């Protein structure tokens, strides 16, 4: 996807929302997509109405962009994402996030459901992503680089900057939603990992395993945005969990944690939008 295509999408978003710029983008992971409609001043556009936007097909991932006004800051919520395991090219996977950054978002909050493999993690935990491991052997920046988007070899030493981690941690404490911290490893899916793959990821430093987020984080950082990542541990990862994994259990845990996640986001979004 070209710079021009992303620009066209950003222009369409500005026209449809009546907001020229947004300051914060939020990608809602599994089970959270309803959150966007509760926000003040919410204006919703189906992804299908935005040129170039891929439209999600998987259950539980609606596809709409919601623009809201949080204490005077325009926030773009991406309710629903597409994944590489659905067969999408990574340029499509990161298209919405690129549109958000081109629309002015200097901070991108990425949320997801993940399996927990770090010490002390339990299903239901909310975990701030301290860093990531790209174990999918794919990268959204492969192909010709457009220097107008970002550099050919972007630095990744601070994708999730410490000041924003501290801010999120503080907000969590203030609203009584405890946040753990860990490293997220991206595996391609859609099969869940084997116990040996989870053990590999764990030994390499992963606390969380999941099938999203990393390509979006790389693309956002490529364009100069700062990233905050929050995982909901929907299950202990394979081999750590005593029972087989099922998508139904994953969505049930996400549903059970929704109120806590919502409380956190209500307090965190206005703070991040001011950064
Ligand atoms: N592995 C990968 N992705 C996931 C998991 C998991 O255990 N749980 C939720 N998303």
Give per-residue pLDDT as tens, 213-269: 999 999 999 999 999 999 999 999 999 988 888 888 888 888 888 899 999 999 999
Contact 13, 65 (CB under 8 A): yes
Residue 241 CA: nearest ligand 1 atom is 7
Best mutation site among 84, 114, 208 for ligand 1, i.e. most ligand atoms within 8 A of its Cβ?
Answer: 114
What integer is the mean pLDDT of 154-169?
Answer: 98
* 271 ligand 1 Cβ < 6 A: no
Encode burial over 168-200: b for 16+ CB neighbours within 10 A, e otherwise.
beebbeeeebebbebbbbbbebeebbeeebbbb
State the pLDDT confidence band at 33, using cuts at 50, 70 and 90. Answer: confident
State the pLDDT confidence band at 29, using cuts at 50, 70 and 90. Answer: confident
Selection from 86, 82, 65, 79 nearest residue 19 by Cα = 65
DSSP for 131-168, written as a single string: EEEE-SS--TT-S---TTT--SS---TTSS-HHHHHHH
Taking only Cα atoms into account, the Rg of the chain, rounded to an integer number of angstroms, comes to: 17
Asked if 273 is an active-site residue, the reply is: no
pLDDT at 60 over 90: no
Rounded to whole angstroms, the Cα distance separating 240 from 71 reads 42
- pLDDT at residue number 34: 81
What integer is the mean pLDDT of 109-124?
Answer: 96
Catalytic member of 8, 37, 62, 86: 86
Catalytic member of 9, 10, 35, 61: 61
pLDDT at 62 over 80: no
Q: What is the pLDDT of residues 162-210, one digit of tens each?
A: 999 999 999 999 999 999 999 999 999 999 999 999 999 999 999 999 9
Which two structure tokens, joined as six digits, stand for 3? Answer: 């710079």
Asked if 73 is an active-site residue, the reply is: no
What integer is the mean pLDDT of 145-166?
Answer: 97
Record the pTM: 0.96
Q: What is the pLDDT of residues 85-116, one digit of tens each?
A: 999 999 999 999 999 999 999 999 999 999 99
Rounded to whole angstroms, the Cα distance separating 53 from 63 reads 10
Residue 245 CA: nearest ligand 1 atom is 7
- pLDDT at residue number 1: 62
pLDDT at 38 over 90: no
Helix axes 95-102, 214-222, angle to 10 degrees: 30
- pLDDT at residue number 12: 97
């Amino acid at each position: 996807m070209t710079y021009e295509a992303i620009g066209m999408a950003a222009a369409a978003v500005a026209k449809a929302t009546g907001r020229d710029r947004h300051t914060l983008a939020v990608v809602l992971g599994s089970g959270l997509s309803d959150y966007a409609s509760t926000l003040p001043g919410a204006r919703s556009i189906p992804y299908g109405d935005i040129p170039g936007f891929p439209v999600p097909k998987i259950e539980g991932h609606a596809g709409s962009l919601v623009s809201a006004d949080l204490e005077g800051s325009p926030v773009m919520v991406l309710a629903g994402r597409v994944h590489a395991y659905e067969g999408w090219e990574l340029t499509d996977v990161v298209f919405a996030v690129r549109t958000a950054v081109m629309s002015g978002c200097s901070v991108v909050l990425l949320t997801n459901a993940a399996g927990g493999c770090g010490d002390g993690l339990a299903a239901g935990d909310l975990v701030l992503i301290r860093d990531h491991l790209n174990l999918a052997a794919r990268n959204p920046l492969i192909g010709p680089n457009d220097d107008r988007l970002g550099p050919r070899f972007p630095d990744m030493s601070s994708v999730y900057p410490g000041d924003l981690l501290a801010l999120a941690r503080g907000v969590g404490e203030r609203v009584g939603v405890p946040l753990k911290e860990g490293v997220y490893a991206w595996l391609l899916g859609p099969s869940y990992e084997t116990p040996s793959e989870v053990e590999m990821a764990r030994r390499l430093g992963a606390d969380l395993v999941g099938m999203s987020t990393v390509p979006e984080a790389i693309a956002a950082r490529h364009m100069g945005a700062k990233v905050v990542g929050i995982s909901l541990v929907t299950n202990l990862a394979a081999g750590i969990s005593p029972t087989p994994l099922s998508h139904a259990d994953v969505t049930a845990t996400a549903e059970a944690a929704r109120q806590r996640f919502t409380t956190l986001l209500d307090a965190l979004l206005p703070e991040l939008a001011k950064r």
